[in-house]
Amino acid sequence: MPEALRQRPRLAFAGLAVLLAVLPFLVGLGLGNAWVRVLDFVLLYMLLAIGLNIVVGYAGLLDLGYIAFYALGAYLYAWLASPHFGLHLPFWVVLPLGAMLAGLFGVLLGAPTLRLRGDYLAIVTLGFGEIIRIFMNNLNAPFNLTNGPQGMNRIDPVSVAGLSLGKPLHVAGLTLPPTTLYYYLFLAFVLLAIFVAMRLQDSRIGRAWAALREDEIAAAAMGIDTRNVKLLAFAMGASFGGLAGGLFAAFQGFISPESFTLWESILVLCMIVLGGMGNIPGVLLGAALLTLIPEALRYLGDLQRATLGHVVVDPSDLRMLLFGVALVMMMLFRPAGLLPSRLRRREFAAQDGVAEQEQASLYDAHA
């Protein structure tokens, strides 16, 4: 942020608000409606990343099955608001239920496993993610719960006060397509999530999470109930995932198990690692970058066609490869992320110091 704006926070804030409000119009006019849709997904992934950040960034618990909670939220929305069971409950009933269901599963999964050390937790959550996906894929028999690999469609769009976001809206000579309407809905949820996450970070619970992340034994000695505090982080993150899942289902109108693979979990994890674990602006940046870059990479195909005459490497094949490279590079060269939180930066610096000290004492022993 330039210095001039830093001194006038209100002006900067107003500028940002105006920018966010007109962004879908600018993007829609400049790049076409497809990119407004991309923008919607940026917001959706921001919501997911903020949720996972509570688990991984704040409390330091590695969750590799986060997408399972997203899936639960999405499927619950589809069950309660689609012709599948003939239920059409309004979104303000279904979304909180989805968040609660995901939170409940978070507690059920977390209660037995959270006493294990971190990397075991990672594998158990990964296993849980796969279990949920396999069940979604197969529960179309003997009675049709999830419609199996075909997925569920014709899911109700969100409608606010009789106004369906699934249809274009005509206001004052302007036509707002559904993607733009959902943009505002998602934006509202993201702003709410940012507010909640930031307040959480500075709260008593947030400090307990930080203590837990730094040193579990010391935290327990200070009187923190480590198990409950971990469970709380896990459940909180899970319910953000469930909420995002419900929004996803309503926005797409269609869900299938394919949307909830392990790679989605890893993608969200990449977002917070890349952006800077534990730091909300970093997490938002990570989510935006990792959603936009693959979209931009689509132009690589056109580029190859223009320069080489045909597509040599399918850009969608390159996408995951580049993610893998980025993950490794980030960990090797900038382990705290692009926008690290102040605390974390200090932590990583301190870590080097400790290692050097240990090395030095080893050399002393040699001599």
Partner 1 sequence: MDIFAQQLVNGLVLGSIYALVALGYTMVYGILELINFAHGEVTMVGAMVALSVIGLLMGVAPELPGVVVVLAGILVAIPACMALAYTIEKIAYRPLRHAPRLAPLITAIGVSIILQNLAMLIWGRQYVSFPAILPSDKYALLGAQISLLQIVIVVLALLLMAGLWLLVERTRLGRAMRATAQSREVAELMGVNVDRVISATFVLGAAIAAIAGVMVSAYYGLAHYYMGFMLGLKAFSAAVLGGIGNLAGAMLGGLLLGVIEALGAGYIGDLTGGFLGSNYQDVFAFFVLIGVLVLRPSGLLGERVANRA
Check residue 19 for interaction with partner 1 (CB under 8 A).
no
In this chain, which stretch among 19-27, 183-191, 294-302, 319-327 interacts with partner 1, using CB under 8 A?
319-327
In whole angstroms, what is the distance from residue 315 CA to residue 299 CA? 8
Q: What does residue 49 show for φ and ψ, rounded to 5 degrees?
A: -65, -35
- The distance of closest approach from Cβ of residue 335 to partner 1 in the complex, given in angstroms and rounded to an integer, is 5
Among 68, 323, 337, 341, binds partner 1 (CB under 8 A): 323
Binding mask 24-63 for partner 1 (x = CB under 8 A): ------------------------------------x-x-
* Stretch 112-151 residues interacting with partner 1 (CB under 8 A): 112-113, 115-120, 122-124, 126-128, 130-131, 134-135, 138, 141-142
User: Under the criterion CB under 8 A, does residue 367 sit at the interface with partner 1?
Assistant: no
Distance CA 170, CA 173 (A): 7
Q: How far is the CB of 322 from partner 1 (least distance, A)?
A: 9
- DSSP label of 88: E
Q: Give 80 or 124: the residue with its C-beta nearer to partner 1.
A: 124
- Residue with Cβ nearer partner 1 (110 or 241): 110
Q: Of the candidates 23, 177, 216, 345, which one interacts with partner 1 according to CB under 8 A?
A: 216
Least spacing, CB of residue 195 vs partner 1, in Å: 27
What angle is formed at CA 164 by the lines to CA 160 and CA 169, rounded to 5 degrees? 110
Q: What is the CB neighbour count within 10 angstroms for residue 223?
A: 7
Q: Kindly tell me the burial class for residue 19, based on how many C-beta atoms sit within 10 Å of its own C-beta (0-12, 13-18, 19 or more).
A: exposed
CB of 307 to partner 1, least distance (A): 19
Query: Is the distance from CB of 240 to CB of 264 less than 8 angstroms?
Result: no
CB nearer to partner 1: pick between 150 and 203:
150
Number of residues counted as binding partner 1 (CB under 8 A): 55
Burial category of 41 from C-beta neighbours within 10 Å (exposed 0-12, middle 13-18, buried 19 and up): middle
Q: Is 335 in the site for partner 1 (CB under 8 A)?
A: yes
Q: Which of 209, 320, 213 is nearest to 266 (CA)?
A: 320
Nearer to partner 1, 262 or 289 (CB): 262
Q: Write the interaction track for partner 1 spanning residues 266-285; mark x where CB under 8 A is met and - where it is not.
A: x--x---x------------
Q: Are 268 and 27 in contact (CB under 8 A)?
A: no
CA contacts within 13 A on the Cβ side of 105: 26
Q: Bridge-partner residues for 175, per DSSP?
A: 170
| Distance in Å, CB of 212 to partner 1, minimum | 10
Residue 82 β-bridge partners: 87
- Please state, in angstroms and rounded to a whole number, the distance separating the CA atoms of residues 171 and 163: 12
- Measured CA to CA, the distance from residue 209 to residue 237 in angstroms comes to 13
352: left (phi over 0), alpha (psi -120 to 50) or beta: alpha
Residues at the interface with partner 1 (CB under 8 A): 60, 62, 64, 112-113, 115-120, 122-124, 126-128, 130-131, 134-135, 138, 141-142, 215-217, 262-263, 266, 269, 273, 313, 317-318, 320-321, 323-328, 331-332, 335, 347-348, 351-352, 354-355, 358, 362, 365
